[in-house]
Structure formats: C-alpha cells, structure tokens
Amino acid sequence: MDDYDPSSMDAQIAQQHILHSINPITQTESVPIREALNRVVAENIRSTINVPSHTNSAMDGYAIRGIDIPSTETKQLKLVGTAWAGRPYYGAVNDNQCVRIMTGAAMPENTDTVVMQEHVRISNDLITIDSKQQANQNVRQAGEDIAEGDLVFTPGKLLNPSNIGLIASLGIGEIKVVRKLRAAFFSTGDELVSIGTPLEVGQIYDSNRYTLWSMLTRIGVEINDLGVVRDTPEAVEAAFLEASENADIVITSGGVSVGDADFVKETLEKLGQVNFWKVAMKPGRPLAFGKVKDAYFFGLPGNPVSVMVTFYIFVQAAIEKMMGHEPKPHIQIQATSNSELRKRPGRVEYQRGTYHLNENNQYVVVKTGEQGSGILRSMSDANCFIFLPMESSGISKGDKVEIWPFDSFV
Ligand code: AMP
Ligand code: MG
C-alpha cells in the first residue's frame, strides 16, 4: 500500500523545527580527564606551561653550536658528555665541543643544533661533521607546540582521544564539562515480551529498547530504562510521569501511528505539549515531538528500523544540541547502485545497503535485502543508508545514489 500523504511534513522542516525548539543544558561538572572523553568542554582551557617545556632534541645525535658548522669540508668536535631524555647534561658546551644527545633530551647550555648520529663519523671522543648541516636543525623549541597562556579549547568542544592527550600534556588533570544528558525511555505495546519469556502467538521480543540503549550509550547519554509499558491509558500516564521526573529527554517507541496513538495523545495532552506529525519519509512516518513537563519528548514509531532511522535523523542532532556542540554533518558519498531500488515520489527514503570501494576506486552499493521497516536485518547487515530524495521514483541498476556511511553517525 502506498502511504503517501499530501499533508505530510517535510523531514527537513521537522528537523529544523526540533533543533529550533531545543535549548542546551547549562549545568556543568568537573571530571578527571579520563572521564572527559566524548564530553563537551564547559570552560576556557588555557595552558599554564610551555609545551615542550624545554628546548630539546628531535633526534638521536649530537648537540653542537651552530657556529661550529664548517662552511666547507669537515670539522672535528670533542665529545664532552651525554644528555638523556629526563637526565640533562648540566655542563656548558664550549667551542669545538659537542654532547651526545637522545631524542627528547633538553639541549645543553650554549647548544642550538643537533646533528643526526647517521651524519657523523666517530673515533674515540671525536666526531666529524660536514658542511651540509644547518644551524638550529633537529631542535624542538620550548613552547613550539603550545605557549604558556595559549587558549587550547573553548566551551562547546567535544573531546576526542587526541584532545584528552593534549590536555594531559599541559599537566591538567581535571576539567569542567557539560554534565551528562539523562534519557528515559520505554516501549509500548501489548505484544511485547521481555527476553527470557517464551513467545506465545502474536508476541514479539522487545528489541527497540536494546537498539535505543545502544545508540544512547555510545554517545555518552545516561539511561533510565523503564521497560515495556502496556497499551492502557493508566500505564502510559504513569510511565510518562516517571520518565519525565528526572530526564532531559524522554523517548518512547510505538503507539504514535494512527491506529493506536489515541491514548498516548490523550495522555500527552494532559501532561505536555506535543506535536504528532506524519513525516514524508520512509521509514519513520509517524513521529511525535514536544515537551512532557520539563523534558523534551520524542515519540518514535514502533517498527525497529523506523526507530533507528528517526533516532539518527532527529534525536541524535537534538541530543548534540542539548550537549552544547554543533551537530556533526553526516558524510555523504556518491556511489553506483548495484541494486534496483523501488520508491515512490513524495517522500525521502533511507534504504539500507552495504558499500565498498571497487577495483576502479569507485564506491558501489547494494541493498541489504527486503527493505520493510520491521526488518531489522536490513539495518544490521548494512554499513550505510542509501538516501533517496523526495522526487526520486526509483533507481535502476547502475544509477548513481547518495550514501551515508554509518561510521559518521557515531
Ligand atoms: P506501533 O507503532 O505501536 O503500531 O508498532 C508498529 C510495529 O512495530 C508493530 O508491528 C509492533 O509490533 C512493532 N514494535 C513496536 N514496539 C516494538 C519494540 N519495542 N520492539 C520490536 N518491535 C516493536
Ligand atoms: Mg503498538
């Protein structure tokens, strides 16, 4: 059956409406830097030291004075000591002298140049250098990476592993970040059974809470899982009240399509302000968005693929905005479709596929079997969405399509 509906909401407009309604959370907390991975910086982080703190050698070799480099031929310098990383040579280096130096060792007084060990000849305590050396080579200057007082990160920065290392290199052990977001979710449906209970006729296992748990966990959201809620007004109202108590965001799945939305709608009319939309997209047509008490509310459709698509397209960007950093753009790549893809104009579609780079260095994508919104396998086997725009009326084998690799959704 065609579910095209001319009164549908444009997916992009729905996304803009959602983002426009969302305010970032303002509470912060101080955490040890190991807990700051994937968190958002909430203060100016400045360096109180030079990095590196001392001018040091970038190579294993010999520390010399640049003025000792001969202009022609070669020159002999006398070896007077050794500088190790963490164990400096404290003496001064005079004319025609040198110090054996290891990578990372502080440059001895008077020296400014390192000659790589491969470029010298050694006999006893004399080394021979040639005129090809350059003054100041192979030396890392104090403050070269970061100078004392430099601003390193500003509020809004989402921290990745290299950022954490950089903060550690400044000797900073604790920083202020935006507090973790708290999400509460539950599934609705009389047909849903929890793992461990055998299925009776018409029952299915609740998978949506597990995909939601996974998608939220990997972006660092704290979770309150309220389980399966039966399709009665009382149960739904109680669940909404509990969910909105402590959460920044409440997410439900199921119960927002025309058939069974009524009591969810009824409950939400009592507790909050919520819009029920028919979004011109597949999967993921029914969607509810608004507020329940102080929490933002997303009512996602029940079908397992729809839950994931609407989460990635709507919820994740909203969470990023609440956490105070810019939504990450999804990587979009042109690929050749090796599958025929059926589609009706009038809605955008997020079909699922696997892509790879072929022997001619071109991206090729094939769809992952049947594309029904209840077939989670089509998502599980896939490594990308195949995005088909509103006006598309299907794709023939060999046509170009736009793909969105899942890697960019993390
Ligand atoms: P609904 O939007 O409640 O009409 O649900 C649409 C379809 O998704 C139905 O086939 C449901 O059985 C299925 N569904 C709803 N919730 C879940 C869930 N938590 N896990 C797996 N499938 C679900
Ligand atoms: Mg239902």
Digit-coded pLDDT (tens) for 176-206? 999 999 999 999 999 999 899 999 999 999 9
**Total length of the chain:** 410
pLDDT of residue 101: 98
- pLDDT tens digit sequence for 342-374: 999 999 999 999 999 999 999 999 999 999 999
- The pLDDT, as a whole number, for residue 13 is 94
| Ligand number with the minimum distance to the CA of 304 | 1
Q: What is the mean pLDDT of the chain?
A: 94
Residue 15 has pLDDT above 60, yes or no: yes
Please compute the mean of the pLDDT values over residues 218-235 and round it to a whole number.
93
How confident is the model at residue 264, as a pLDDT? 77
Which ranges constitute the DSSP H helices of 160-232? 161-169, 208-217
Look up residue 373 and give its DSSP letter: T
Residue 6: predicted pLDDT: 55
Q: Residue 369's pLDDT is what? A: 94
**R_g of the chain computed on alpha carbons:** 31
Query: Helix (H) and strand (E) counts for the chain?
Result: 8, 26
Helix (H, G, I), strand (E, B) or coil at 277: strand
- For residue 327, say if its preceding peptide bond is cis, omega within 30 degrees of 0: no
Q: What is the pLDDT of residues 161-178, one digit of tens each?
A: 999 999 999 999 999 999
Please state the rounded mean pLDDT for residues 277-304.
94
* Nearest ligand 1 atom, CA 260: 4
Which listed ligand is nearest to 207 at the C-alpha?
Answer: 1
Mean pLDDT of 296-318: 96
* Closest ligand to residue 230's CA: 2
Cβ(176)–Cβ(53) below 8 Å: no
Mean pLDDT of all residues in 5-24 = 89
pTM of the model: 0.87
Could you tell me the end-to-end alpha-carbon distance of the chain, in angstroms, rounded to an integer?
Answer: 34
Protein residues near ligand 2, an ion, with CB under 5 A: 189, 254-255, 260, 302
What percent of the chain is predicted at pLDDT more than 90? 88
How high is the pLDDT of residue 263? 72
How much is the pLDDT for 329? 82
In the chain, the percentage of residues whose pLDDT exceeds 70 is 97
The closest alpha carbon to 207, from 265, 253, 266, belongs to 253
Q: Residues with Cβ < 8 Å from 325, sequence gap 6 or more?
A: 40, 156, 157, 158
pLDDT band at 266 (very low <50, low <70, confident <90, very high): confident
pLDDT for position 2: 44
pLDDT band at 272 (very low <50, low <70, confident <90, very high): confident
Instruction: Say how many Å lie between the CA of residue 307 and the centre of ligand 2.
Output: 13
Distance from the alpha carbon of residue 103 to the mean position of ligand 2, in angstroms: 65
Residue 305 Cα to ligand 2 midpoint, Å, equals 15
CA 362 / ligand 1 centre spacing (Å)? 38
Q: How far apart are CA 247 and CA 384, in angstroms?
A: 31
Residue 64: alpha-carbon gap to chain centroid: 46
Please tell me the number of the ligand nearest to residue 373's CA: 1
Residue 303 Cα: closest atom of ligand 1? 8
Q: What's the mean pLDDT in 123-139? A: 96
Distance in Å, CA 301 to ligand 2 centroid? 9
Tell me which residues have their CB closer than 6 angstroms to ligand 1. Answer: 187, 189, 191-192, 204, 206-208, 253-255, 257, 259-260, 301-304, 374
Are the C-beta atoms of 65 and 114 separated by less than 8 Å? Answer: no
- pLDDT of residue 262 exceeding 90, the answer is no
DSSP assignment of 29-80 equals EEEEGGG-TT-BB-S-EE-SS-BSSS-EESSSEEEE-GGGS-SSSEEEEEEE
| pLDDT tens sequence across 56-99 | 999 999 999 999 999 999 999 999 999 999 999 999 899 999 99
* Nearest ligand 1 atom to alpha carbon 188: 16
185, 193, 208: which to mutate for ligand 1, most atoms within 8 A of CB?
208
pLDDT of residue 113: 98
Q: Give CA–CA dist 67/53, Å, rounded.
A: 25
